[in-house]
Amino acid sequence: MGETLSKQQVLAAVPQQAPFRFIDEIVELDAEHIVARYTFPPDSDFYRGHFPGNPITPGVILVETAAQAAVVAFGIYLYALETSREELEKILTIFTDCAVDFSGTVLPGARVTTTGRVKFFRRKKLRASFEMKLDDGTLVCSGELSGMGVPR
């Protein structure tokens, strides 16, 4: 009944758009996991106030980045596997809750890779574990994120 969407189709279906989309590419995607990357532009507006003279990416933006990959994009992919394209287009995947441990900072211009793994997916609700790392392998944050599909 459903269909397997390509990485490009999933990315195109993510509702967040610039300047609030924090996924540049989906590197890996299957029914068990997702790997996505994003590079934080050094001229992003939030760096002006966080913190002047010593900017770092706000934790809430890191959580949003992880949620867009591990919940929104991943949820779109998983829901497409069990429903029609028509039904998929009627649903908006939203982030609902998280438990996150921060262990590093992300500087302007840095690229992060988020890996999400399904813990459960049923009735349009997804819980995923995730890790976010810098290109050098430094763990930035990890934890669990949840989201669900709601009518558009």
Contact by Cβ (8 Å): 95, 104 = no
In angstroms, how far is CA 136 from the centroid of its own chain?
A: 20
Contact by Cβ (8 Å): 44, 19 = yes
Selected catalytic residue, list 37, 50, 117, 124: 50
Active site residue 50: yes
Query: What tokens does 79 get?
Result: 């829901």
- Spatial separation of the C-alpha atoms in residues 45 and 64, rounded to whole Å: 16
- Spatial separation of the C-alpha atoms in residues 67 and 69, rounded to whole Å: 5
Burial class (CB in 10 A: 0-12, 13-18, 19+), 108: middle
One-letter amino acid of 41: P
Residue 7: which H helix or E strand, with range? helix 7-13
Active-site residue numbers? 50
